[in-house]
């Protein structure tokens, strides 16, 4: 046994050393993170759309009963009737069901294009307790809007746009509001007809 250890001491002890150093580093980092979280006030900036920032629900401070977090947009010019579609995560922080009924993207601005106004919720959505549901806002583009978006230069990477929105949900007989929020950013695409 001693002979086996002596023959393989380099990889054996280097492996144990790596594990030991890893455990020490993990312990130190967890202490630093714990100290940082204790010193920061509890608030949510609403800038992150990653699921890890809002799940699990019991471990975070919920600033509102529900919120909408941007996913992406699509301006589809390839359809017979061109349209804009914007997708959001609707996050219900409550332990009760909500009905998202009245919501609209008040303004949508893609860099050099004209401002799009009043993009409504595509349908009513039921938000299960403490859950996340993807919701869609959609409206047809006018001919003049479609022509302007058609003149935008072709890009093979996502475009950024700014939006403002207001949403209302109903919990039994109580109405809850999210927003108005303004100047928020969202990334997306312009889908063009094949040439």
pLDDT, tens only, 25-42: 777 777 766 665 444 444
Q: Is the sign of the CA dihedral 34, 36, 42, 46 positive or negative?
A: negative
Kindly state the average pLDDT of the residues 71-76: 94
Q: In this prediction, what percent of the chain has a pLDDT beyond 70?
A: 73
pLDDT of residue 88: 94
pLDDT of residue 52: 45
Q: Give CA angle at 85 (80, 91), nearest 5°.
A: 155
| 7 Rama sector, left if φ>0, alpha if ψ -120 to 50, beta otherwise | alpha
pLDDT, tens only, 106-161: 999 987 788 899 999 998 899 999 999 999 999 999 999 999 888 887 877 888 99
pLDDT, tens only, 40-52: 444 444 444 444 4
Largest CA distance in the chain: 84
Q: Tell me the DSSP string of 132-170.
A: EEEEEEEEEPPHHHHHHHHHSPP-SS-EEEEEEEEEEEE
Between 32 and 94, residue with greater pLDDT? 94
Domain 51-191: CATH architecture, name and number where available: Sandwich (2.60)
162: how many CB neighbours lie within 10 A of its CB? 15
pLDDT of residue 6: 72
pLDDT of residue 129: 92
């Amino acid at each position: 046994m001693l002979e086996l250890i002596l023959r393989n001491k380099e990889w054996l002890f280097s492996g144990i050393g790596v594990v030991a150093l890893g455990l020490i580093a993990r312990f130190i980092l967890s202490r630093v993170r714990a100290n940082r979280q204790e010193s920061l006030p509890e608030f949510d900036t609403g800038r992150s759309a990653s699921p890890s920032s809002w799940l699990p629900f019991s471990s975070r401070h919920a600033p509102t009963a529900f919120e909408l977090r941007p996913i992406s947009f699509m301006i589809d010019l390839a359809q017979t009737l061109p349209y804009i579609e914007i997708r959001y995560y609707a996050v219900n922080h409550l332990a009760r069901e909500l009905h998202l009924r009245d919501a609209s993207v008040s303004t949508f601005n893609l860099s050099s294009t004209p401002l799009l106004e009043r993009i409504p919720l595509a349908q009513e959505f039921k938000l299960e307790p403490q859950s996340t549901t993807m919701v869609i806002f959609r409206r047809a583009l006018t001919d003049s809007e479609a022509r302007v978006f058609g003149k935008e230069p072709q890009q093979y990477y996502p475009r950024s746009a700014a939006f403002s929105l207001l949403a209302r949900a109903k919990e039994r007989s109580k109405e809850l509001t999210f927003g108005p929020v303004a100047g928020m950013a969202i990334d997306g695409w312009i889908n063009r007809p094949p040439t």
